[in-house]
Structure 1
Amino acid sequence: MRKIKCPYCGFDCIKYGKIRIGSQRWRCRECHQVFTKPYDHTNSDFRLFLQWLFSKNVQKDMPGAGRNFRRKTVKFWELWPLPPKVETQRSIVFIDGIHLGRKACILICCDEKHVLGWYVCRAERAQAWEALMNRIATPKVVVSDGGTGFRKALKKVWPKAKLQRCIFHASQQVKRYTTTRPKTLAGAELYGLSNDLFKVNSTDAALNWVRRLTDWKIKHKAFLDEVSYDEYGKPRLKHERLLKAEQSLIVLIKSGTLFTYLDETLDFDCSSTNNRIEGGINAQLRAMLRYH
C-alpha cells in the first residue's frame, strides 16, 4: 500500500475516518495534523489536452464552446519543453526548418525513429542552426534540403559529418526554373534529367547521369549562349533561368553532396531524401495549425 506523507512535516500518516462527502481523512503520527489529500487532476487534464491537440476536434464544437476545456488546460500552454542533449552518435540524421509565420521558424533534427532536437527562431540563419546542432552528437551523414546558413553551421559544428543534399529538393529547384511544361526542347530535357535523379541507385548510374547532364550542356550550348538586349541596349542572356537550373545541379555535383547516399564506405543504408522529416514531422505540424 502506498504510504501517505504529511504535507507539513513529511512523516507517515494513518487513516483517521472520513469527511461528510466520503473523502478519506489522514492524521500525522508526528505532528498530529489532520488533513484530506486532494485528488490531482493534472494527469487526466493533460491527457485531455493532448487528445485535443493531436485531433481534428475544434473547441467551438465542445460543450459550452470549450470554456470548461480551456479552464482545465490553460496551465499547459505555459509549458516550454526543452530538447534533451544527445550524446550518442547517430548514423544518419535529417534536418529541416519549417516556417510557421513571417518571423517564426522551427528548426528540427531527427533520426529514423525519434526527434532529437528543435530550435525556435525568426529565420534560418547559421547561428540558429548552431544552437540546434551543438546539443546533438556529430552524426555520420546529414540529409538536408540546403537551408540558408546550414552549410556554414555544418562546417563549424559537425565538420566530420558527410552531407547528402535531398534529391527531391534538388529536383524541385530545377522545376521552379523550367516549370512542369517547358516551352523549349532544352528545358524539357533538363526537367526530365532532374526527374531521373530518383532512378539513380548505383555509382555507375550516377556517373551516367552526370555524363547525360554534360551532353545536354554541349548539345544546347549555342541555344544557351543566345543574348537579348533590353531597352537600354544592355546585353543579357536570353535563357538565364535554364542556366540557373543547370548551375544548381553543377554546384551539388562539384561539392560531392548529390550522391553521398551511394558512398561505398558507409556501413548502413543512407536515404537520399528528406521525406522522413517532411512527411513524418513537418506535415503533422502543418496539419495541427490548420485544425486549430
Structure 2
Amino acid sequence: MNNMTCPSCGSPMKRNGKTKSGSQRWRCVGCGASATHSIDTAARDPAAFVGWLLSKGSQVDMPGQGRTFRRRCARFWAIWPMPEAVDEACRVVYVDGIWVARDCVVLIACSDEFVLSWHLARAETAAAWRSLLSRVAAPEVVVTDGGSGFAAAVAAEWPSTKVQRCVFHAFCQVKRQTTTRPKLQAGIELYGLAKELLHIETLAQAEWWLERLRQWCGFWADFLEQRSVVDGRSVYTHERLRRARSGLVRLADAGTLFTYLDPALAAEGPLPATNNRIEGGVNAQLRSVLRFHRGLTKLKRVKAVFWWCYLHVERPKSMADTLRQMPTDADIDLLRDRYGIKADDLEKPEKWGEGLVWEELHHKTRYPYSVD
C-alpha cells in the first residue's frame, strides 16, 4: 500500500484521510484522482489451484493431505479458460495437436513467443483445424507436421499463407517405413535421402535433392512394382517402401518441403524448417503437466491443457477477471438447453464468440462441433 500508484495516470498516490467505512483514501499527486485500495482475496484460491495444477507438487504433501485444498479449489475445475481472437498477424505460426485421450485432441497455435489459440476436438479434421485457424490472423508462413485435414483447412482460412512442412517429421515418416537399418539397397538409399532433408540450407541443395529423389523413383520403379501372393491375395512385395516413397513424392509435388528457403519470404530473416518451437516449447511442457498428475480424468486433463495455454498467451487476464469472465460447465449446459443447437445444422466452423466445442465433452452426439 505504501507504493500505491494511480490507476488513471500511473503517478504515485498519497494518503488522504479515510472513507466513512474506515478504509484508507488515496489521492494522486499528478491528476488529483481519489481511490481506495482493497485486496482481492477471491483471487488467492484460483491462483493456488493453478499453481498446483501446473507444477509437479502432490496434494498428499499439503497440510491435511490436501483435503482443505480440494475443498477450496473444487469449484475451479468447472472453469474453461478460453482464447480470445488474435487480430495481430505474426510472421510465423506453429500448429500442432496434443492428444489427451484416444478420441480427444487439443489443437494449438503458437508464435515464437506466445500461445495464440487452442481448440478441442475429437480428431484432427479439416473442420477442427478451421475452427482453430479462424480465430488467428493469417501469418506469412505456418509450420505444421502435416496432420490430417490441415491442408484443406489452411487453404480455406489462410489462402495467402505459405505452408512449411516440418522436415524432421517428413524424415520420421520415411524412417517409420524403412527403419534406421534398412536391408534392401532401395531402402538404404531412400533413408539416406530422407536424412539429408535435415541438413539442406540453400536452394541449390534443395534442387539437387529433388533431382536425386526423381532419379531414385525412376531407377527403382520396376522394383517397387513387384507383387507377391499372400493368403491368396496379390499384394505389393515392398509395400512399406512404396509408402515411404509416396510420402516424399507427395510433399515434393506440394512444394511445402523448402518454403523456408524461399528468397521472398526469407528476406526479413531466416525461417524455421521444423516444428521444434511448439514440440519442445509447448507440447513437451504439457506432457510434463499431464505426467505429474496422472490420476486426472480425461475432462480434467483437457482443462489442465487449457489452463497452461491460457497462462502462456501474451496478455492473460488476472485471476479475478478470469473468474468473472470465463464460462463454466453450468454456463455451457444452460446454453445447450436454451438453444438446442444440433451438429447437423452447422455448415461451417464457428468464429470466436460463436463457438466453444462443448458437445465433444458431453458425448451427446457423435459429430464434433462448436456452439456458443
- CA distance in 2: counterparts of 1:112 and 1:39, whole angstroms: 35
Partner residue, 2:20 = 14
SS of alignment partner, residue 229 of structure 1: strand
Partner residue, 2:221 = 221
Q: State the TM-score, normalizing by the size of structure 1.
A: 0.84
How many residues get paired?
A: 264
The aligned amino acid for 2:287 is: R
- CA distance in 1: counterparts of 2:186 and 2:68, whole angstroms: 62
Displacement after TM superposition at 1:124 (Å): 1.1
Query: Contact 1:91–1:268 at 8 Å: present in 2 too?
Result: no
Structure 2 residue runs without a partner (length 5+):
5-17, 25-36, 294-372
Matches within 5 A, 1:145-224: 145-224=145-224
Partner residue, 1:281 = 282
Is the alpha carbon distance of 1:237 and 1:111 closer, same or farther for their aligned partners in structure 2, counting shifts above 3 Å?
same
Q: Deviations over 1:14-62 (max 9, x none)?
A: 255xxxxxxx89xxxxxxxxxxx99743333233223212221111222
Q: Which has the larger radius of gyration?
A: 1
Partner residue, 1:62 = 62
Displacement after TM superposition at 1:180 (Å): 1.8
Query: Contact 1:94–1:111 at 8 Å: present in 2 too?
Result: yes
The aligned amino acid for 2:74 is: V
Partner residue, 2:271 = 270
The aligned amino acid for 1:14 is: K
Partner residue, 2:238 = 239
Partner residue, 1:116 = 116
- CA distance in 2: counterparts of 1:96 and 1:15, whole angstroms: 54
- CA distance in 2: counterparts of 1:270 and 1:61, whole angstroms: 46
Q: State the TM-score, normalizing by the size of structure 2.
A: 0.67
SS of alignment partner, residue 47 of structure 2: helix
Partner residue, 1:5 = none
- CA distance in 2: counterparts of 1:133 and 1:240, whole angstroms: 35
- CA distance in 2: counterparts of 1:235 and 1:137, whole angstroms: 50
Displacement after TM superposition at 1:219 (Å): 3.4
- CA distance in 1: counterparts of 2:70 and 2:262, whole angstroms: 53
The aligned amino acid for 1:284 is: Q
Matches within 5 A, 1:66-145: 66-145=66-145
Q: Deviations over 1:142-174 (max 9, x none)?
A: 111111111111111111111111111111111
CA RMSD of aligned residues (A): 2.2
Partner residue, 1:21 = none
Structure 1 residue runs without a partner (length 5+):
3-11, 17-23, 26-36
Partner residue, 1:255 = 254
SS of alignment partner, residue 265 of structure 1: helix
Q: Deviations over 1:222-257 (max 9, x none)?
A: 43232212342x432211110110110011111111
Query: Contact 1:86–1:135 at 8 Å: present in 2 too?
Result: yes
